[in-house]
A and B are shown apart, each in its own frame.
Chain A
Amino acid sequence: MRILIVEDDLEAAEAMARGLTEVGHECARGADGEEGLAAARAGEFDVMIVDRMMPRMNGVQLVETLRREGDRTPVLFLSALGEVGDRVDGLQAGADDYLVKPYAFAELIARIEALARRRDTGSVQTLLKVGELEMDLIARTVHRQGKEIDLQPREFQLLEFMMRHAGQSVTRTMLLEKVWHYHFDPQTNVIDVHISRLRSKIDKGFDRPMLQTVRGAGYRLDA
């Protein structure tokens, strides 16, 4: 993926770029809002990582400008501010996701990949298919190898999210945010139990587990 990093903290940007390059992405950088805007206008990127507070043009202004110009490149906002209002501001400006500093690198990668994926799904799908697993979003049914799997509403939502991001690592925080719509970290890993319940329903009795635990990151649904 081609990723644009707009961040005025050069050391942080450098570390981010190195990390992203290591996992196979191509990175370009802008050291402030105006540089970022120029870079975004000049090149095609799959995802932009934009720091919220920067000299010359802040992240919110940058994203607003790009959106006004019709640029729909997914944007991940980075910020040291983490309150509800700040997140809402960022999303309102047109950012697609929001990550609070300091963050785990795995979290950053998982979110970037999720954002890049989101771009592909232009048309409305009524049927999700990942390997042997099929989900009918209208009938609200799930089948694996043609066998119906009975899920609770929340388990259904959880699986839907995993299927939409099949093959990608998804962190616990992402699940809590996107499936439960909470933006805090519980001290205990309540999500793990939900995942293990889901896993027991979709993997038990089948020859091969689909729902994987990714060490240090979260979970991944493999085809």
Chain B
Amino acid sequence: MAVRLPRIFRTTPFRLTLLFVMLFASAAFAFLAYIYVATAGEATRRTEREIVREMRSLVDVYDRAGVDAVNQSLIERAASEKPFLYLLLTKDGRRISGSIEESPVENFTGAPAWATFQVTDETPDGREVKHPARGMQQQLHGGEILFVGADAGEDEAYVARVSRALWASVALVVLLGLGGGLLVSRNVSRTMVNLIEVVERVRNGEQGVRARVRGAKDEFDELAQGVNEMLDRLERSMAGHKHAGDAIAHDLRSPLTRLRARLETAYLDVESGKGDPTQALAQALEDTDGVLKTFGAVLSIARLQAAGAAPDPVLFDPADLAADIAELYEPFCEEKDIDFSAELAKDLTVRGNREFLAQALANILDNAVKYTPAGGAIMLRVRRRSSGEVEFSVTDTGPGVPEEDRERVIQRFVRLENSRNEPGAGLGLSLVGAVAEAHGGRLELSEGPGKVGEMGPGLRVAFILPRA
């Protein structure tokens, strides 16, 4: 059975930390090992230098004043605070004097020789303690043999202290590294866990879940923000599609129902010999075209709303566009005996999808022409607002829209009661609204020029685009 480590040990930051701790500990160990070797060696060398110096001074004494002077000197020196270990032997190795019983140097040839050995010391409470010691032996000019040694215990203790310190510091490095690593990875993990949790919840279909942005402005915040923005977009798009699906179903149901009813009536009429089949079929075709037109409009609205932004925006002169559309509609107005005029400000620039904006403007004019009676007037204007926004407006002298209904007519499929008999799917202004929204603009409906006799008060539709 595999042991599952706690989550924190499995996190990437923790693993990275571990790696770094290992690297760091190895470096520290190598560094400290070097110091150890240097220090320990130095202690031994220092002891040896001291031994050599002591030996030299005793040889001096011997050369100047002979064996007795050496003995005298040994007595004095043995009383000093940190005594050396001495042993003076005759030429044939018998002990003359000294602080140790026998020489640790074996097979002495007469040449100066070094030896490492142990001395036994008695502590104040009577225990025997063994110290490591080092010493050298040399033959004096008269043939006597002199050994000078020194207790290396102090040095050993020093080296031991250094080495303990070294181990302690390695341990400290590892501990601090691990601790720091845990801290860092816990911090990072908390952030990541939050993100992972958000992703998991979204995957399970939850909506409206957002990652926490801690305000540290670091890359985690950036990631969280990115994830949130992505989720916002996805949700908007999903809502758009869902809404689009609902709306298409809703918007097409009534025209299809109407079409079916008409076909059924026509069928019954033709069957009973009352109706003309050709005419019934022509009517059915016309109705189908109406449904298709509605379908096209609904699809355009749905796509615009789902996309959230108009595709392929370009910079262009709004007056050109308005003039183009005006040219398309002017004869139509004339035919209906409507006075058409245009007032187009020059040298403005807007940014948008020309095709959609043309369609929006055409729909507004369609609407105006539809509702303006003969003898009325329609005015198309393009101007720059003081805010810098560009406004296309169409003012007509039709019956207008009561203030309380204005918001509603921009909604889908709304036609006011008294306009039920006019042709048209009632989607005109909702498409215009969707186009405006997709361009970051808006649609404003207000009263036209007011009531004049039978006519009015009219409607003013303003299509406002943000500054390019």
Contact = CB atoms under 8 A, between A and B. Distances in A.
Interface in A183-223: 183-188, 190, 193-194, 196-197, 215-216
A83 B366 contact: no
A100 B289 CA distance: 13
Interface string A70-109: 0000000000001111000000000000001010100000
A183 B334 CA distance: 24
Interface string A114-125: 000000000000
B359 A104 contact: no
B366 A186 contact: yes
A182 to B, nearest CB: 6
Interface residues of B, number: 34
B424 A104 contact: no
User: Chain B at the A interface: mostly helix, strand, loop or mixed?
Assistant: helix
A187 B293 contact: yes
B369 to A, nearest CB: 6
A41 interface: no
A116 B296 CA distance: 28
B440 to A, nearest CB: 18
A184 B355 CA distance: 8
Contacts of B324: 180
A154 interface: yes
Contacts, number: 68
Contacts of B369: 188
A193 B332 contact: yes
Interface in B261-309: 282, 285, 289, 292-293, 295-296, 299-300, 303
A166 B73 CA distance: 141
Contacts of A187: 293, 363, 366, 370, 423-425, 428
Nearest to B370: A188
A85 B425 contact: no
B296 A85 contact: no
A196 B424 CA distance: 22
A39 to B, nearest CB: 30
Contacts of A184: 300, 355, 358-359, 362
B271 to A, nearest CB: 24
For chain A, the bracket of interface size reads 20 to 34
Contacts of A215: 282
A85 B358 contact: no
Contact of A82 (B296, B311, B327, B423): B296
A183 B117 CA distance: 108
B36 interface: no
A215 B296 CA distance: 22
A5 B353 CA distance: 33
B303 A188 contact: no
A194 B331 CA distance: 7
A218 to B, nearest CB: 12
B329 interface: yes
Interface string B400-425: 00000000000000000000000111
Contact of A104 (B289, B332, B370): B289
Nearest to A103: B292
A102 B282 CA distance: 18
Interface string B347-382: 000000101101100110010011000000000000
A208 B353 CA distance: 44
Given A84-B353, A85-B312, A216 B359 contact: no
B209 interface: no
Interface in B428-449: 428
Contact of A193 (B295, B335, B366): B335
A193 B334 CA distance: 9
Among A85, A183, A193, A196, which residue has the most Cβ atoms of chain B within 10 A? A193
B311 A190 contact: no
Contacts of B334: 193
B328 interface: yes
A184 B432 CA distance: 13
Given A102-B292, A182-B358, A190 B329 contact: yes
Nearest to A180: B328
A196 B336 CA distance: 13
Interface of A: 82-85, 100, 102, 104, 154, 180, 182-188, 190, 193-194, 196-197, 215-216
A-B pairs, top 3 by smallest CB distance, nearest first, are A184-B359, A193-B331, A193-B332
20 contacts: A82-B299, A84-B353, A84-B356, A100-B296, A102-B292, A104-B285, A154-B327, A180-B328, A183-B355, A184-B362, A186-B328, A187-B363, A187-B366, A188-B366, A188-B370, A190-B332, A190-B362, A193-B332, A194-B328, A216-B282
Interface of B: 282, 285, 289, 292-293, 295-296, 299-300, 303, 311-312, 324, 327-329, 331-332, 334-335, 353, 355-356, 358-359, 362-363, 366, 369-370, 423-425, 428
